[in-house]
Structure 1
Amino acid sequence: MTRYVVQRVLLGVVQVVLVMAGMFFLTEALPGDAAVTIAGDNPDPAVIAALREKLGLNESAWHRLVEWLANALHGDFGQSLVGPRSVTDLIATAAAPTVLLAGLTLALLVPLSVGLGVLAAHREGGRLDRIITSSTLGLYSAPEFAMAILLVTVFAVKLAWFPPTAVGTSLTSNPAVLVLPVFVLLLRPICSLSRLIRAGMVDAQRSEYVRHVRRAGLSPVRVRLAHALPNAVAPSVQQLARTVDWLVGGVIVIEAIFVVPGLGTALADAVAARDLPVIQGLAVVLAATTVLVNLTADVAARILAPAAEAGR
């Protein structure tokens, strides 16, 4: 296990460095540069030349890449081109709402998905199984933005049960503002995870291993939860990892609809303002998050079902 973890960590480091280098050269390929952006709409050539000298833009791209990578390894992504804030401080501020939304969603997602999957698999083909399967399939097919707009229209505008957006309020001081975004974020992941767990439970309950445990005289509940469930959950860990990655880095639409000042909103604002240091910093954070989440998922799957993982 130790050797496997070390190999995955080294591979993850290489992946993050390649993403950082790729992001740097992609932004280098864009027309204009940071000096032109800072100079404004009516740039003075002398001012632009001075800014280029100050920012080190006259150095070669490779020299600036090495310098940027060295600074990034120490958590320094430079200064934002819009305002006097550092990129690290801006990302840290924007990450708090996104992490809060993702954390609440995950805290509800795991138990609800496991519970629905186990219930559906308890009596395969029964009424409850058909209800859960058809409901999750229907909800999964609905786009998040459409569900978000529908929920805002009904529960925020018509019924006034929840705030429609997070404008003018704090997510922690007014928890009601989190209800609709978290519900929308839960819809598709809970459908996919519960169906995967149901399929895994059905396969596990038919396996020779579980049949042997039943012959040993264990109670049906213990057979399902202590023996069938770990093997059923293992294939869903990778899907959970993809869900976490999506929650942290792909909630731009949800944050835009509910005006949540998270990483998605920060990325959209940075793209609109051509704030390249912020875009680069966010790309590094999202890449590192993806690598870390997938590493954790692979290790967890190997622990839950070592025989299945070893055979891959």
Structure 2
Amino acid sequence: MAAARLRRALRPRRVQRRRAGPPAGVRRHAARPARRGRLPGVGVRRLPRGHQPPRGRRLGRRAGQHPRLGALRQGLAGLSLPRYAARRALVGAGQVVGVATVVFVLTEALPGDAAVVIAGDQPDPARIALLREQLDLDRPAWHRYLDWLADLAGGDLGVSLVSQRPVAGVLAAGAAPTVLLAAATLLLLVPLSVGLGTLAARREGGRLDRALSAAAVGLYAVPEFALALLLVAVFGVRLAWLPPTAVGTGGDLLSRPAVLVLPLAVLLARPFCSLSRLTRAGMVEAMRAEHVAHARRLGVPEPRLWLVHALPNALAPVAQQLARTTDWLLGGVIVVEAVFVVPGLGTALVDAVTARDVPTVQGLCVLVAVTTVTVNLAADLVAFRLAPRAGAAT
């Protein structure tokens, strides 16, 4: 018996292994049960029987997460379209007044005046003084500025100092060719850039995508006047396929449609590069969004994914870029009209600056400012409707 006790005393004791607990100072938390209505471990809400998931454009509006529109969506949440339009219209009116003031100050700073230009190469001081009195150029500048603003508020742009014609008539005479070039450029630009940008996004990394990228980079680096001179030298002079200038049309460009080909090619080059690349990038980014992937899992057809769920999110920044493109067209048309001898507003502006015809210059600048503000307002309203917003009142 003593030997048995000795063996039990010398037998090694079993050590019970304990599970490794949390570090000192850290409380042990019980596993949280899954929330009611959600699948455990999955962040998707369980849909009840008979519930149909949102289809069509509603899905893109609810779950759209376009990063380019985050600031717009946060700033416009809870703002209705009429209130937003009224706010933007007030801002645009202030911008037009600011542009008119800057233009008046700059034209007053020009050396000489219309009286000196009308007097000729050997002006008589008495005749110059008489002309200044007749043209109201002897009055203080701030008097003429207030009178001009009052007339401008009533829709009167003044009278040309050189031709003594109403400025509105001068602008109307040269507006037809300019409006025709700008409208034709926009009508061709939108379908071409959006269509090719979408095709390049669908074939990301393919031949069309690489060719479009190379052409966009190459054309965007060429200035407008250089491209215009190159096209005139190649297609107008050397090959003689197209008329190099619009001389002989009398301002009616539609009587010879071939005259429009080269000017439209120059005006389309740079805007097409920027808009097509922006559309391509927006479509690629939109197709990688979570709501598009969820719609694909629900069995939405691929064309509907591109046209309904991805394209609206990609078009909002394109609409704003199109407004900036329209601003650029107002300056590009002047260069194109000078190269191709088109009797439009660009030619009228150059002639007015040369003759120191201040009312005509001011009227042209105000017209450009009003057009720019109107186009940007329209683009902002389109982006307002296309931007996915949480809780926005419509």
Q: Which of the five TM-score ranges fits, normalised by the shorter chain? A: over 0.9
C-alpha displacement at 1:251, in angstroms?
2.0
Matches within 5 A, 1:200-239: 200-239=282-321
Q: CA 1:151–1:34 in 2, change beyond 3 Å: closer, same or farther?
A: closer
Q: CA-to-partner distance for each residue in 1:50-89, whole Å, 9 max, x for gaps?
A: 3333333333222211110111223322222332322111
Q: Percent identity?
A: 65
Q: Is the 8 A contact 1:249 1:286 kept in 2?
A: no
C-alpha displacement at 1:105, in angstroms?
0.8
Structure-2 separation of matches of 1:33 and 1:151: 38
**Which consecutive aligned stretches of 4+ in structure 1 deviate over 6 angstroms post-superposition?**
none
- Counterpart in the other structure of 1:305: 387
Moved more, 171-180 or 272-281: 272-281
Higher relative contact order (CA 8 A, sep 6+): 2
- Counterpart in the other structure of 1:74: 154
Q: Is the 8 A contact 1:75 1:88 kept in 2?
A: no
C-alpha displacement at 1:199, in angstroms?
0.3
Q: CA-to-partner distance for each residue in 1:140-164, whole Å, 9 max, x for gaps?
A: 2222222212211221112222111
Q: Is the 8 A contact 2:119 2:127 kept in 1?
A: yes
- Counterpart in the other structure of 2:349: 267
Q: Does 1:276 align with 2:358?
A: yes
Moved more, 132-141 or 178-187: 132-141
Q: Give 2:371's aligned amino acid.
A: T
Q: Does 1:23 align with 2:103?
A: yes
- Counterpart in the other structure of 1:39: 119
C-alpha displacement at 1:39, in angstroms?
2.9
- Counterpart in the other structure of 1:164: 244
Structure-2 separation of matches of 1:110 and 1:153: 28
Q: Does 1:58 align with 2:138?
A: yes
- Counterpart in the other structure of 1:188: 270
Q: Give 1:183's aligned amino acid.
A: A
Structure-2 separation of matches of 1:268 and 1:221: 50
Moved more, 41-50 or 126-135: 41-50
Q: Does 1:179 align with 2:261?
A: yes
Q: Is the 8 A contact 2:112 2:356 kept in 1?
A: no
Please, which of 170, 173, 179 is the counterpart of residue 93 of structure 1?
Answer: 173
Moved more, 271-280 or 27-36: 27-36
* TM-score, normalization by structure 2: 0.75
Structure 1: 5+ residue stretches without partners: none
- Counterpart in the other structure of 2:40: none
- Counterpart in the other structure of 1:137: 217
- Counterpart in the other structure of 2:326: 244
Q: CA 1:13–1:116 in 2, change beyond 3 Å: closer, same or farther?
A: same
Secondary structure at the residue paired with 1:250?
Answer: helix
Structure-2 separation of matches of 1:248 and 1:29: 24
Q: CA-to-partner distance for each residue in 1:78-124, whole Å, 9 max, x for gaps?
A: 22233232211111111111110011111110000011110110022
Secondary structure at the residue paired with 1:43?
Answer: coil
Q: Is the 8 A contact 1:37 1:81 kept in 2?
A: no
C-alpha displacement at 1:214, in angstroms?
1.6
C-alpha displacement at 1:34, in angstroms?
3.1
Q: Give 2:168's aligned amino acid.
A: T
- Counterpart in the other structure of 1:255: 337
Moved more, 242-251 or 94-103: 242-251
Structure 2: 5+ residue stretches without partners: 1-80
How many residue pairs were aligned? 309
C-alpha displacement at 1:301, in angstroms?
0.8
Q: Is the 8 A contact 1:136 1:191 kept in 2?
A: yes
C-alpha displacement at 1:218, in angstroms?
1.6
- Counterpart in the other structure of 2:37: none
Q: CA 1:143–1:45 in 2, change beyond 3 Å: closer, same or farther?
A: closer
Q: Is the 8 A contact 2:197 2:278 kept in 1?
A: yes
Q: CA-to-partner distance for each residue in 1:253-299, whole Å, 9 max, x for gaps?
A: 21111111111111112122222211111111111111111111111
RMSD of equivalent CA atoms: 1.7
Structure-2 separation of matches of 1:297 and 1:227: 20
C-alpha displacement at 1:125, in angstroms?
1.7
* TM-score, normalization by structure 1: 0.93
Q: Is the 8 A contact 1:270 1:279 kept in 2?
A: yes
Moved more, 246-255 or 104-113: 246-255
Secondary structure at the residue paired with 2:240?
Answer: coil
Q: Does 1:198 align with 2:266?
A: no
Structure-1 separation of matches of 2:257 and 2:208: 33
Structure-2 separation of matches of 1:60 and 1:85: 23
Moved more, 31-40 or 218-227: 31-40
Q: CA 1:219–1:193 in 2, change beyond 3 Å: closer, same or farther?
A: same
C-alpha displacement at 1:209, in angstroms?
1.5
Secondary structure at the residue paired with 1:307?
Answer: coil
C-alpha displacement at 1:4, in angstroms?
1.2
